[in-house]
A and B are shown apart, each in its own frame.
Chain A
Amino acid sequence: DAGITQSPRHKVTETGTPVTLRCHQTENHRYMYWYRQDPGHGLRLIHYSYGVKDTDKGEVSDGYSVSRSKTEDFLLTLESATSSQTSVYFCAIKGLAETTDTQYFGPGTRLTVL
């Protein structure tokens, strides 16, 4: 258990509404990531953070924004949700194992946009 929680775990929303997903970690890791996972596409990086207020885009960042005002929290916002954003969202931290490269994942959030 890498001390990562995600909230909510499940959410159903309507097209056009804003949605914010939260990732919380308890172990003071510098790097945090948001992925989405879809059948046939695997895990795709949305955004990541390398420190408080330091974020960068991944390969599928369009339609998403992130914020990190505290080390322990990384928020993912869908400003105006679309049906194509229906997915399972995973947060990950880059933690300490053999090296600092290793990622550990949260339990995921299943988002359905109607």
Chain B
Amino acid sequence: QKEVEQNSGPLSVPEGAIASLNCTYSDRGSQSFFWYRQYSGKSPELIMSIYSNGDKEDGRFTAQLNKASQYVSLLIRDSQPSDSATYLCAVNRDDKIIFGKGTRLHILP
């Protein structure tokens, strides 16, 4: 089992709708969880971090964490064409941050 798993997509969502991205992780000792966005040809940029069970909201983005189920999700409300990118889930283990392979999101105009 991979340490961090994501559906590779592409996930196609109509503009204005909610995009839902999911991630599971294998190490129950993980304490920190992150979502990065990466545009083609660019470096990853952090959009959300979450450390405790529940929801965390930042503008149009909501991260959800369920440690019992080892599950992290990212919701993007009112999706915009500029949200089209690859979204990387990452988990902190010891001093290292382990990434999933990413989910490609395509917002349909």
Binding site for B on A (CB under 8 A): 31, 33, 35, 40-45, 48, 50, 56, 58, 90, 92, 94, 97-99, 101-108
Distance between Cα atoms of A101 and B88 in the complex (Å):
16
B96 close to A (CB within 8 Å): yes
* Inter-subunit contact A105/B49 (CB<8 Å): no
Select the stretch in B60-68, B73-81, B98-106 that faces chain A.
Answer: B98-106
Selected from A31, A42, A97, A103, the residue in CB contact (under 8 A) with B100 is: A42
Contact of A97 among B49, B88, B99 (CB under 8 A): B49
B108 an interface residue at 8 Å Cβ cutoff? Answer: no
- B50's nearest neighbour on chain A, judged by CB, is A98
| B17 close to chain A: CB less than 8 A | no
State the 9 A-B residue pairs at the shortest beta-carbon distance, nearest first: A42-B101, A105-B43, A43-B99, A101-B32, A101-B92, A105-B44, A108-B43, A42-B99, A103-B97
CB <8 Å contact, A99 and B51: yes
- Residues in B with CB closer than 8 Å to A99 are 32, 49, 51
CA distance A94 to B34 in the complex (A): 13
Chain B nearest CB, measured from A49 CB (Å): 10
Task: Determine whether the beta carbon of B96 is less than 8 Å from that of A58.
Answer: yes
Residues of A within 8 A of B100 (CB): 42
Residues in B whose Cβ lies below 8 Å from that of A45: 96-98
The minimal Cβ–Cβ distance linking B22 to chain A, given in whole angstroms, is 15
- Contact: A42 with B88, CB < 8 Å? yes
Chain A residues near B98 (CB-CB < 8 A): 45
Residue numbers in B under 8 Å from A107 (CB-CB): 42-43
CB distance from B103 to the nearest CB of A (A): 11
A59 to B49, CA, bound (A): 23
